Amino acid sequence: MSITLKTPEEIEKMRIAGQLAGEVLDYITPFVKTGISTEELDRLCHDYMVDIQGCIPAPLNYAPPGYKPYPKSICTSINHQVCHGVPGDKLLKNGDIVNLDITVIKNGYHGDTSRMFQLGETSIQAKRLCELTFECLWLGIMQVRPGGHLGDIGNAIQKHAESSGCSVVREFCGHGIGAKFHEDPQVVHYGQRGTGVEIKTGMIFTIEPMINAGKAGIRELADGWTIVTKDHSLSAQWEHTILVTETGFEVLTMSAASRLKPDWIK
């Protein structure tokens, strides 16, 4: 495992990229409503990133080993889609929940964040799942400090999700990020306190729990990208990019309209 601790110059570039990624979500929020297609949301985000921000959409044509190039600029995962949902002509409808996952490249560095949206009158279960997953994100973030361990993050997330009757997706995780989209370390969203890689000042990684209302099992669709729950239960995800500071952490992808940490999480 090769973990790079970021220099002050790299950290500043990551702050800019993270801020821009968050601003894409702020920009697109008014457009996320019933009757719009995820393809249209993708087009709007792409044009904003390229024409307004002067960024590169990181997912577009991204092709890790074993995958064909991703065909769009954002990921849009609806209802039982866990992650990597490919935008298309399907229209969002009343009661849907959808995750928009944004990664931009600015001056060679990546900013990565995602947010849940609820359309119209969503079910009690959907509301609860979106809120629970947001709480899981922040419970994980609050474990970040030099001298801690990545297992502390996963343990906090797993305990909260499972005590609420939900499950944690294990096949996908947070990751180091910087000049590359995906770097070491892997940040899993389950585990035991005091285990895993030691957290050190200068690390930058994402925390992005995927929580299912039903069982944890997942499968991949024929498009080679979209991941769904095996039992067709709802799934939710929130994501931030985190810098480890000398005293704790800094959330690099907070923006003007980002939801703040729930008051009860200390």
Give me the pLDDT at residue 200, please: 98
Asked whether residue 191 is domain-assigned, the answer is yes
Give me the pLDDT at residue 263, please: 95
Asked whether residue 262 is domain-assigned, the answer is no
Give me the pLDDT at residue 188, please: 98
Picking from 15, 24, 261, 240, the residue whose alpha carbon sits closest to that of residue 114 is 240
Asked whether residue 1 is domain-assigned, the answer is no
| Domains in the chain, number | 1
Give me the pLDDT at residue 5, please: 98
Residue 191, C-beta contacts closer than 8 angstroms, at least 6 positions apart: 150, 151, 153, 154, 155, 158
Give me the pLDDT at residue 59, please: 98
Alpha carbons 207 and 36: distance in angstroms, whole number: 29
Are 106 and 13 in contact by the 8 Å Cβ rule? The answer is yes
Token pair listed for 133: 């997953």
Q: What is the residue-wise DSSP string for 35-64?
A: T-BHHHHHHHHHHIIIIIS--EETTTT---
Give me the pLDDT at residue 122, please: 98
Give me the pLDDT at residue 254, please: 98
> Domain limits at 95?
8-251
Asked whether residue 75 is domain-assigned, the answer is yes
**Helix or strand (DSSP H, E) at 237:** strand 235-237
Asked whether residue 214 is domain-assigned, the answer is yes
Low-confidence ranges of the chain (pLDDT < 70): 1
Picking from 139, 103, 131, the residue whose alpha carbon sits closest to that of residue 249 is 139
Asked whether residue 3 is domain-assigned, the answer is no
Give me the pLDDT at residue 105, please: 98
- Is the pTM here over 0.95, yes or no? yes
Give me the pLDDT at residue 181, please: 97
Token pair listed for 104: 């931009």
Asked whether residue 222 is domain-assigned, the answer is yes
Give me the pLDDT at residue 100, please: 98
* Opening angle at CA 166, ends 163 and 172, nearest 5: 115
Q: What is the pLDDT of residues 68-91, one digit of tens each?
A: 999 999 999 999 999 999 999 999
Can you give the CATH number for the domain in which 101 is found? 3.90.230.10
Give the CA count within 13 Å in the CB-facing half-sphere of 238: 24
Give me the pLDDT at residue 77, please: 98
Asked whether residue 45 is domain-assigned, the answer is yes
